[in-house]
Structures are given as C-alpha cells and as structure tokens.
Structure 1
Amino acid sequence: MIPYFTGLGIGLVASGSSIILLLVLAAPFIARKVKLNTANKFKRRLFKQNHGLLLQQLISQKTDFGERMIISLLDLEKATNNFDRTREAGGGGHGVLYKGILDLQVVAIKKSKIVVQREIDDFINEVAILSQINHQNVVKLIGCCLEREVPLLVYEFISNGTLDHHLHIEGPMSLSWDDRTRIALEVARALSYLHSAASMPIYHRDIKSSNILLDDNLTANVSDFGASRYIPIDKTGVTTAVQRTIGYLDPMYYYTGGLTDKSDVLSFGVLLVELLTRKKSCMYRSGGDGVGLISHLISLLAEGNLDELIDPQVTEEGDGEVQELAMLAAMCINLKGEERPTMREVEMKLENLRASISVAPDAAATRRYDRGQTGSVCMPTEGVVVEASRQYTMEEEILLSARYPR
C-alpha cells in the first residue's frame, strides 16, 4: 500500500505536469491574443489621435467630410494583399503608392515611409482639402485610414502615370502638341477653380509635371495636396514655411515666405516651358555660360529665335500658337508677382489658344509659325533680356542656398 503522502506527492506532480503542459500548449495562443489586444489598443489610440487632428482641421475649415470616408486598416490590407510589394504602383522619397481593389473599385493607396509630425500634418491637411474639392481635373479622394501613425489616403486610381513620365521618355516623340495644350488648359482650369471657385481659396504650392497624373485618355488630374494651404478670403497672402521644388519655385516666395496665388502661377509658367521644350528647369544649363532654362527661353523669345530651344516635335506640329504659349509662359514667370496674370486669365488665354488650334487647316496656314511673330498674347518685350539676367541670378542663388539649411 502506497503511503498517503507519497500518493499525494505523485498526484501533485501529475497535476503540476498537466498544468505546465497546458501552459506550454496555450502559450502561443496567449501570446498571440496579448499581441492582438496590444495592436488593437495601439490602433484605437492612433485612430483617436488622428481622428481628432482631422476633425480639428475639418471643423476649422467648416468641411463636411463624413464618417463614410473613413476606411479600416483591415480593408486596405485585404485590398493590397497586406501591402505586398508586387502591388506597388509608384512613389518617391516620402512614401509608396499601392494599387488595390476596394469595393470592386481600383484605388491608389498612399502610404508614408517615415513617421514625423510634418508627414502626419500633411496627410491630414490633404484629406481636409480634397474632401471639399469636386473638379474633373483634380484627383478624387475616396477616403482615409486613421489606424496608422501616419494616415493612409485612398484615391481613385489614375492609370497612365505622370505628365513628367510622358514628357521625358526617351526618343524623339512624346505627347502631341494638341495633347500638350489640352493638358495645360486642364491644369489651368483646376488651379483657377482652386484659387477662385472653391469655398475657400486654396493654393497648391507644388505644381510640377510629376504631380500631374494622366488617365487612359491623357486627361490631366492635379494631385499631391499635402503642401497646399487654405487662404482666408479676407487675406491676400499668408506667410508659411517654404515648400521647395527647385526649378518651379517662386523666388519671391522663397525669400519672403509670403504665399499668394501668383506663386502657383509662376510654377504653372515653368510647367508651360517644360511642355514647350521637354526640358527640366532644375537640370537644364545652356552652353558654357550655364544659363538656366527660364532665362534662355526668355532671351530667345526676345530675339525671336525660339526654334533653338523648342522641342522639334512642337515646332513641327504647332503653328503660331507655339509663340503664343511661350509668351504666356513668359507672363507667368515674371519676377514681379503682381504683374503675373491670375489663373483665371491664364485659363481664358489657353481656351482662346485651343480654339485657334482647332480652326480649319487652310485658315491655320495663314498663321504659320515664324521667327519674330508676336502672336495674339500681348507682352512688351523691351527689357526682357535684363529681366532674364536677373531671373538667372535668382535661380542660381536659390540652387546654391538650397544646399544649406535655412
């Protein structure tokens, strides 16, 4: 007969072994549950934080966003196969763009690479601005996910890449002259709407060819509103931290931080030069003198010798409208902001130019492009070379100072 205490000991050991075995078997499930609970708490905290920032921004702008536009992280993970690398559709230094399927719709999901307050602020700002914009030439915001440190933005998917990609492909042929002028008009319409037709004026601050998306029909869609700013109607300008894209930057904005609608006008003028020449302003230097693209174009325009710089395809396909567009670009890139046209005026001039392109061929023949022809957009050319020289100096100052922190 086994002594009582010996039996008790055996029972305790057996029970202890069973408990330990159960704990060992259950450990992974417990750990997974704890990890899941921790992750859910973290997501809820981020949602609360980002939702609060978004609500604060929306309330201050009196924007009706709607909870319907808030998308769960789980839905976006399903839409992108957990953000699989094969779903990447583009991106830059700050973030990655993913292509996904959400509710049977193809979408683009913008995900930041870095976690800093500025990125969070820019994403929240973009949501607030795009939620009140409804324009056929502005990329459409579908919703946002607030369950990550930097919110995810969900847009309609624009299938055909950027204007920058189409302009700067290798080979002699790029977008047709007709497409280039139409795209210019579409971008002008979008900016004119932002400046004067939105419920509160909006300045984009980062107009450039890589921020113009093209769909299958090559229709332009202005994108990337992270740097954009609302401007109260009773104010003509606001001082902000400078958003810099060298080559498109308004020198006056760079030095003063004073933001006006004319800063977007200058950036648009540089875009027109890019459409005319297929050259990037930030990279172009002419000959031994190292003259910048803008200065070179203005000098050639004053001399009536645009052929030297204009894309040969444009010279071949265009007509008198080539010089008209160059003159309009020169007006937009005037160093004096107050002398630049408004985007509404630019839009109207481009509409007139587009109308002249569509006239009958025999009528167009009487307006054949010729050196020294002034076109229908009036701009005095006296002193243009001096102005170009000053423009070049300021371009050099910006390029040099951009290498150092301000």
Structure 2
Amino acid sequence: MNSTQLYLVILFLLTSAIKKSVAIYARPGCNDTCGNVRIPYPFGIGSGCHFNEWYAVDCNSSTPYLPAINNLEVLSLNLENQTAKVNVSMISDCQTQVRNSSQILSVDLGGSPFLFSQEHNKFTVDGCGNAVILEQGNLLTGCSTICQNETVNNRSDCYGINCCQTTIPYYLETYSVNTSGLQPRGPDGVCGSAFLVDEGSYSAGTFSGAGQLVCSDFASVDFIPARFESYKCSCSRVEEGSPYLANGCQVVRECGNCTGECQLIGLRNITCIPNPILQTRSKSSTLGVVLGVSISIGVLIITASIFALYKVIQKTKEKRRKERFFKRNGGILLKQQQSADESLVDKTTLFTAKELEKATDYYNENRILGRGGQGTVYKGMLTDGRIVAIKKSKIVDESQLEQFINEVVILSQVNHRNVVKLLGCCLETEVPLLVSEFIPNGTLFEHIHGNSDEFPLTLNTRLRIATEIAGALAYLHSATSIPIYHRDIKSTNILLDDKNRAKVADFGTSRFVSIDQTHLTTLVKGTFGYLDPEYFQSSQFTDKSDVYSFGVVLVELLTGERPISLAKSGEHRSLATHFMLTIEEGEVMSIIDSRIVKYGSRGELMAVANLAMHCLNMNGKNRPTMKEVASELETIRTAHVPSSVQTDIRNSKYNAGEEEELIML
C-alpha cells in the first residue's frame, strides 16, 4: 500500500534569545532524531523534551508518531516553514464494491494548535465520473471529474478530466468527505478516491516516489495555527539549530557572497517575522498599516489644529466679551473721570475676573457676608494673602452705571480711618465688582439689636462709635476737595473692625456736589426709617439729609430700638417720630436703653437726646452740620469719661491710651 505525504503547519509559541554558537535541536538529554527524521524543539521525544503534549513525539521502531493527533506518522518537521509532513488516511471506492454506497471520512483538529494548510494542500478527486464534497460546518467545497478514454498514467494535469483539485478554506480545523458520489471503478480500471494531499508531492494520478495511485489508504493534509496570531523565530542564513532553544543556533558557514539578505550582527542574527499564513496578505497589510498610520496622524493633526483654533476663537470671544462688559459696566466713564483727574489713575486698581473668582472660590455660597439692595458681598482672599470683601453688584442698566462708577471714584479718593478703604474694582465681568478691605466684626445694627455679649455696648462705647461716625461724615461733607454726601446712612452701613472702630461703608448712592448744583434728583433713594422727610417731599438732597439719617442712628444707639417697629402702630412705628414725641412729653428717659442708663448721669443722657432731637428737626436749615455734631459728641464724651472710665475699660477692648487717641478724632 502506497502512502501519500502532507503538510501539517504548527504554531510555535516559544521564543528565546540565542547567544552561543552551538547548534542544538533538542533539549539537553533528549534525542533529536527518530530514524531518518529530525525532531527539533518544540517537538520532543520523551517526557520533558517537548513544549507541551501537542508537540510530544513517540519513536516506535525508528518511526516517529504524534500521539496527541491520532498517532499520525511524521515524515518530516520543518521549523523554517513551520510545517510537518504526516501520513493520513484517505477514502476511496476500493473499500466498497456496492454502487452508490456511502462512506464518510471525518478529520477533526479542533482544540489543537494545528490547522490544515491552505497554502500547501489541495482537495483532490481522482477517477473519472466522480463528484465529491468536502464539508466544514456550513462551508462546502468540492469538485467533479469527467471520463476520457486514456489511461491514468498518461494524465499530466488535474483540471477535471479523470482528476480535479480545488483549494480549501482558510483556518480549516476539521472536515468530512462523503463518498456517495464516487464510482466504484472508473473505465480506466482504477479506484476512485478523494483526499487532501500535499500538492508538491502529487501530480495527476501519481505521488512522488510512490508510483501510480491505486487504492491507497493514505493521503496528505496541511495544518496551520488556529485561533490566534503566531510569530516565527528562525536562525540566520549562516546558522543551523532550533531558534526556540537558548543557544540553539550555530554558525555553520561563512556569509560568503551575501548580497544583502544575510545580515550578521556579531556572530549571529535572529529575526522574528509574521506567521506564514499572514504573508499572503503582507502587501495589503503593509498598505493598510501605512494608510492607517497616515490617517491616524492626519486625524491627530486635524484634531490638534481644530482644538488650537477652538482655543484661539474662545480666547478671542472671551476677550471681546470682557471688553463689552467693561464698556457696559462703566469702564469708559471711569476712564473719562481718570482723564479729567489724573490722581485717580493710581488710586483705583483694576482686578481681573479670574483673580476674583479664585479669591471667592468661584463665588461659593459659604463665602457670602451679606446681601443688600445694591448687591451681594463675598469674603475672599487675594493671592498675596489679603482678606477682602468683594461686592458683586446686581445686573445694572445704563441708568445705574454712573451710580456704580461714582462709588468707585468717591472711595478711591477717601482716606479716613473711619471710612472703608476701596482696594479696586473689576469691570470685565457680567456684573461689576468692588474690592474693599475686609471689616471682620460685622455691622453696628447686629451689635445693637443682637443678643451677643462678646462686645457689650456701654455708654462710653456708644458715644465713641457715634463720634467716629460723625467725624467721618464731617470729613466727607467739608474736608474733601468736593463735598461728598453719603445719602444712605444707617446702622447696617456702619461696620466694626477688629478693634471695634466704626467704619462707614456702602457709598452706592453717594454723590459729588459742586457749589452750583441744586442737588435735585428724579428718584428719591434711601432706606425707610432713616430717610429725611424734607428730602422725601422736595427730592432735594443736602448735607442736612445725611444729618437726619445720622440722628436716627444716634437714637438707635441711645434707645436700642429698631428704626421701624412692626409691633407698634401709627406714628409710634417710626423710631424718629416716637422719639420726638417722648421728648415733647418729657418721657424720653423711659425709652433709653436699660443697658446704658446705669453708666451715665441724667444730664449726659439728656445731652445726647437733645443733640439727636436737633438732628431730627423737620426743617433741615435748623439742623446742625455734621462738623458741629461731631464737636458736640466729643464734648459730651470727654465729660463722661472721668466718671465711668473704670467700668468702660472693664467691659471693652480699649485701654486708656486708645480712649485718648479716639477722643482726638
């Protein structure tokens, strides 16, 4: 019985560096031949000599077999091509003499690292008048033959006359052949057969070195690596041995007339190239890689360009947006005022939006100090460590721009110990921002009407605070180059610093007043309870209007009552009106704050009450000036100190030296 040869492609997974020049085909202590067949690693004979059980070789009677694959006989193993030639069974009509009987040959390599090689094997049908199908799952392949009156020995091709061949699918792991289409015997008298065969060892009707094909029980099949991509290691052209073993390659010849394919680095060179199954696609794969890399680079460049362009556009839009806000928030008006008075240029700092966002933790709700009619005040910390108050005004229209810029201009020129100092502003945001020094101890309103005992408001303390407020307003009215009217004096606009000094704040409705101005306004502004009735009726605001509002604050300090009491009715609801009625009725001592009665004599308290009554006169011309008010308060306070200094020192944060300093305001 003749045997046919076939290729079995094996995936070698082992790779290792070869450093020495001794050619080694098998692991130490293992045989590298069986009969006339070389057995190179990863194949091996015996335990511990092979890579895994799929590569185990049994050597029986000098003939190698693969026990893991149905004991197939190994004819040769080629590491360079990653192939193994083995004998496998073939099917023919020699096994049956009954016409139209059916045989099925099935070969299954599923689960092994081997596949049938499409490159080396062909599905072949031999004999005339036959049609045979090879099945692989849902895939079918096959061919048919016709008869011609000539003997098999004269056939020189296999294109359908007495013999046909066809290719097999890629990645073929298993197949079956149905012989129902084979003729029991063709007219040429030989057996009809169907098989996979190594095309290099088969020509029409014959096998190389095997004579004429007759009723053979064996045919050849190719295998290729399955289910994963593999790589091949090889020795250089001047070496021999197994590249899958350390020190396996040996230089056995000189490089000779190498024209470039032989590249020897040192004593040897090892290359790693893709599995041969992928070589048929190398050109298209290379082109695909080039195109893929080119497209990727192109996409990256385009993406980077688009992103850079986007950033430029965003920066341009942001710049224009800030410029638009700057103009809308009164920046042009501020520039005009600075142009008119060059001294304002160095007195007003323009902060950026980014600086103030960082300072307030992006205007976190936890940073809010208070809200008012003009906007919201946040606590912030600048990059230099200064703690500041940042006033975020409400969205303003053009009619309110002058009011805001007016506050900036006024505060930038004021330099008084009892006036909150303006540090700068920001006009490039949606709403304008003012940055001023942070005053830590809250408002006078909170200390008068709150329940905290941390800072007791003794009579001397109240007189000092009233004197400081009056001194600051007198400075604004008469000591500046152009008189400044605050227009919204109230206890919530009086802040206390860390030494509990009074600081006049919130100049949102303030105005410069020239000598020739009539001081008329089209809209009365102020806070109900503090508003001058004369200003309310005539819309004419004067320095005496600030005096009236201060009179209400002075009554607050004297009585401890709120400027408007919802618990009272009629004319007693207004503190100023209620106070004036008690003065007329001679009962003013009944409404003096009980917390200060014990600290002052009746004469001192009545002196303060009489001063407040003059400030609240319904006729503005009969009211004193703030300078006169400040002088009168200083006189009252100086007269009061000797009789109560010990008590006041015990209940306040000031020492005698500080008291004397404050008296000199």
Deviation at 1:296, TM superposition (A): 2.0
Deviation at 1:190, TM superposition (A): 0.6
Aligned equivalent of 2:344, options 64, 78, 88: 64
1:136 maps to 2:414 = no
The separation in 2 between residues aligned to 1:9 and 1:124, in whole angstroms, is 67
Deviation at 1:231, TM superposition (A): 0.5
After superposition, where does 1:375-390 map in structure 2 within 5 Å? none
Aligned equivalent of 2:623, options 340, 343, 346: 340
1:39 maps to 2:318 = yes
Partner of 2:555: 273
Deviation at 1:298, TM superposition (A): 1.6
Partner of 2:540: 258
Aligned equivalent of 2:448, options 163, 167, 171: 167
Cα deviation digits, residues 81-127 of structure 1 (max 9, x gap): 33233322222244221222222221111112334334433221111
The separation in 2 between residues aligned to 1:109 and 1:290, in whole angstroms, is 38
1:180 maps to 2:459 = no
Deviation at 1:56, TM superposition (A): 2.3
The separation in 1 between residues aligned to 2:448 and 2:410, in whole angstroms, is 28
Specify the code of the residue in structure 2 equivalent to 1:338.
K
Specify the code of the residue in structure 1 equivalent to 2:600.
G
The answer as to whether partners of 1:168 and 1:174 remain within 8 angstroms in 2 is no
Q: 1:118 to 1:235 in 2, by over 3 A?
A: closer
Partner of 1:90: 370
The separation in 1 between residues aligned to 2:561 and 2:644, in whole angstroms, is 29
Partner of 1:324: 607
- Partner-residue secondary structure (3-state), 1:131: helix
Partner of 1:217: 499
The separation in 1 between residues aligned to 2:505 and 2:287, in whole angstroms, is 76
- Partner-residue secondary structure (3-state), 1:99: strand
Partner of 1:105: 386
Specify the code of the residue in structure 1 equivalent to 2:356.
L
Cα deviation digits, residues 185-232 of structure 1 (max 9, x gap): 100001101110111001100000000010121100001111001100
Specify the code of the residue in structure 2 equivalent to 1:39.
E
The answer as to whether partners of 1:286 and 1:293 remain within 8 angstroms in 2 is no
Partner of 1:282: 564
Q: 1:361 to 1:33 in 2, by over 3 A?
A: closer
The answer as to whether partners of 1:286 and 1:296 remain within 8 angstroms in 2 is no
The separation in 1 between residues aligned to 2:347 and 2:322, in whole angstroms, is 17
After superposition, where does 1:111-126 map in structure 2 within 5 Å? 111-126=392-407
Cα deviation digits, residues 296-334 of structure 1 (max 9, x gap): 212222232223212111222222221111111110011
Deviates more, 1:77-86 or 1:195-204: 77-86
Aligned-residue sequence identity (percent) comes to 46
Cα deviation digits, residues 335-380 of structure 1 (max 9, x gap): 0011011111101100101111112469xxxxxxxxxxxxxxxxxx
Pick the structure with more helix per residue: 1
The answer as to whether partners of 2:444 and 2:494 remain within 8 angstroms in 1 is yes
TM-score w.r.t. the length of structure 2 is: 0.49
Specify the code of the residue in structure 2 equivalent to 1:34.
I
Deviates more, 1:17-26 or 1:166-175: 17-26
The answer as to whether partners of 2:378 and 2:390 remain within 8 angstroms in 1 is yes
Specify the code of the residue in structure 1 equivalent to 2:381.
I
TM-score w.r.t. the length of structure 1 is: 0.79
Partner of 2:637: 354
1:303 maps to 2:585 = yes
The separation in 2 between residues aligned to 1:231 and 1:62, in whole angstroms, is 20
Deviation at 1:178, TM superposition (A): 1.3
- Partner-residue secondary structure (3-state), 2:345: coil
The answer as to whether partners of 1:95 and 1:113 remain within 8 angstroms in 2 is yes
The separation in 2 between residues aligned to 1:244 and 1:93, in whole angstroms, is 10
Deviates more, 1:215-224 or 1:55-64: 55-64
Deviates more, 1:316-325 or 1:80-89: 80-89
Specify the code of the residue in structure 1 equivalent to 2:417.
Q
Specify the code of the residue in structure 1 equivalent to 2:467.
L
Q: 1:242 to 1:93 in 2, by over 3 A?
A: closer
Stretches of structure 1 lacking an aligned partner (at least 5 in a row): 363-406
- Partner-residue secondary structure (3-state), 1:37: helix
Deviates more, 1:275-284 or 1:324-333: 275-284
Q: 1:240 to 1:263 in 2, by over 3 A?
A: farther
Cα deviation digits, residues 24-62 of structure 1 (max 9, x gap): 677666545433331122113333553211122344567
Deviation at 1:239, TM superposition (A): 3.7
The answer as to whether partners of 2:374 and 2:508 remain within 8 angstroms in 1 is no
Specify the code of the residue in structure 2 equivalent to 1:336.
N
Aligned equivalent of 1:53, options 333, 347, 369: 333
Deviates more, 1:191-200 or 1:56-65: 56-65
Specify the code of the residue in structure 2 equivalent to 1:349.
E
Please say which structure displays the higher CA radius of gyration. 2
Aligned length: 358
The separation in 2 between residues aligned to 1:67 and 1:330, in whole angstroms, is 39
- Partner-residue secondary structure (3-state), 1:329: helix
RMSD: 3.1
